[in-house]
Structure 1
Amino acid sequence: MLRTVLLSLALLGGGFGAAAWLTHDFQVWTDEGARRLEVALRPVPVPAVTVDGTGIAPSTLPQLLTTPGHVTIADFFYTRCKTVCLTLGSSFAQLQAALAQDNPGVQLLSISFDGGHDTPDLLRHYARPLGADPAIWRFARVANPAEQAALLRQLGVVVIPDGFGDYEHNAALLVFDAQGRMVRVFDLAEQDLALNYARHLARQAQRTSAQGAV
């Protein structure tokens, strides 16, 4: 009996330790939660993939994200989507309205992961009914399939073709700092939190830029 009790306690202790390790001391319980914690602790650099889009001449994504004194809230979508991408568009329209009133240096960027289909002209047509103001909200794509795959993998964006021209994909608001690094990931329901965090980063970036100019 004693051996059984001791063995059970040992297994329980081992399981507790493994669970603590796997969940970052029980701070998260899901893979997505773990990813978001890792991003917050260790900002993710963006690979130098080539992008173009609405009002965007071909350039690398890091170049697009590193406007001095600015930070970026980005999402991933595709124009043929009839489900979650509509919610993303609505969220970004609300963010744009807020930024039009008080914008300390936050820009919005919607990136298509269907780069072979979503040409700059098609992105422009998609953006028009959303009322996207290019001064605040731009649309981009990565045309090269290999570069697109590398970007999605680096940022932890899951995209699974369904075989009928549509995709299953995760949806979130990604915040990039003035150095072009992904620093936080927020749920769609946390758009106000994402906006407040981005505004805070932008003010910090502008202070740093002003101090460097002195």
Structure 2
Amino acid sequence: MIKKKNNIFACLLVIIFGFTLFYLGTDGFRAFTSETARVNRLIDVKPRFPNVTFEDSKGRKYSISEFKGKYVFITFLYTSCTTVCPQLEMNMSKVYGKIPSKYMGKEVVFLSISFDPARDDPTTLEKYRGYFNSDGETWRMARIKNPAELNALLKAFGVIVIPDENGNFAHNSAFYLVDKKGSLVDVLDYKKIDQAAKKLIDILDKEAGKES
């Protein structure tokens, strides 16, 4: 009888311990994967876009203040990527095509940021943008040459970039939305094109309603 009670008690301890680990590991049951938990934390914290200097495909240099007063829809990539990046940018292009022209460039800009600045110089970025119908203005492609600035941005936005010995990178991919004040307000699944476009349009429509 005593042995049976001990077994029951031991089982309860295991269940409670496992429950606690699951709660912590899923960010309070909001996430079933570490990636989802990471995204939830980013959205909760809403990190500010750090002070970096972009150099875009036109060779122009500026900071995030270039887009002050506008939403910025962002991807992170490198042009030598042959796996996820082409699909990421193609999906970016599809979202871009769904945004009403009245908002484009006035209320929102699209920005693809390379984390491989040594190879992705303005000439390379200029060629690459042509594959996805980026106009270089309302949708720009840029690099951040300063390693410390680049790393600060990647860290702030939870972008994981791991180089290998062949010059490639393992990295996570998503759409990142920065608000008019320069804070990250959402991280969206890049595979869900319609959902991402709808969310962005809803935000822009709401903003337009406030101003009218």
Fold match (TM-score > 0.5): yes
Structure with the largest fraction of helix: 1
| Pairwise CA distance, 1:160 | 1.2
What residue is the counterpart of 2:72 in the other structure? Answer: 72
What residue is the counterpart of 1:34 in the other structure? Answer: 37
50, 53, 58: which one aligns with 1:47: 50
Contact in 2 for aligned 1:109/1:137 (Cα 8 Å): yes
2:160 is aligned with 1:166: no
**Cα offsets for 1:132-161 (capped at 9, x unmatched):** 123421111110112111211111111111
Given the superposition, is the C-alpha separation of residues 56 and 182 from structure 1 closer, same or farther in structure 2, using an over 3 Å criterion? farther
**Cα offsets for 1:29-87 (capped at 9, x unmatched):** 111100111223231211111111034732223x1443x2x212110111111221110
Q: Which runs of 4+ in 1 moved over 6 A?
A: none
Partners of 2:35 and 2:156 lie apart in 1 by 14
Farther-moved stretch of structure 1 (154-163 vs 104-113): 104-113
Contact in 1 for aligned 2:54/2:143 (Cα 8 Å): yes
| Pairwise CA distance, 1:4 | 2.2
Partners of 2:190 and 2:138 lie apart in 1 by 19
RMSD: 2.1
Amino acid at match of 2:145: A
What residue is the counterpart of 2:9 in the other structure? Answer: 6
7, 16, 19: which one aligns with 1:16: 19
Contact in 2 for aligned 1:106/1:198 (Cα 8 Å): no
| Pairwise CA distance, 1:114 | 0.4
Partners of 2:202 and 2:45 lie apart in 1 by 18
Residues 111-150 of structure 1: pairs in structure 2 closer than 5 A: 111-150=113-152
Amino acid at match of 2:38: R
Partners of 1:20 and 1:130 lie apart in 2 by 42
Amino acid at match of 1:98: K
Farther-moved stretch of structure 1 (11-20 vs 137-146): 11-20
TM-score (norm 1): 0.86
Given the superposition, is the C-alpha separation of residues 64 and 163 from structure 1 closer, same or farther in structure 2, using an over 3 Å criterion? farther
| Pairwise CA distance, 1:94 | 1.4
Given the superposition, is the C-alpha separation of residues 161 and 42 from structure 1 closer, same or farther in structure 2, using an over 3 Å criterion? same
Contact in 2 for aligned 1:173/1:186 (Cα 8 Å): yes
Amino acid at match of 2:189: D
What residue is the counterpart of 1:151 in the other structure? Answer: 153
**Cα offsets for 1:100-153 (capped at 9, x unmatched):** 656363321100000122112221121123221234211111101121112111
Q: Unpaired runs of 5+ in structure 2?
A: none
SS of aligned partner of 2:192: helix
Contact in 1 for aligned 2:95/2:193 (Cα 8 Å): yes
The alignment covers a number of residue pairs equal to: 207
TM-score (norm 2): 0.87
Q: Unpaired runs of 5+ in structure 1?
A: none
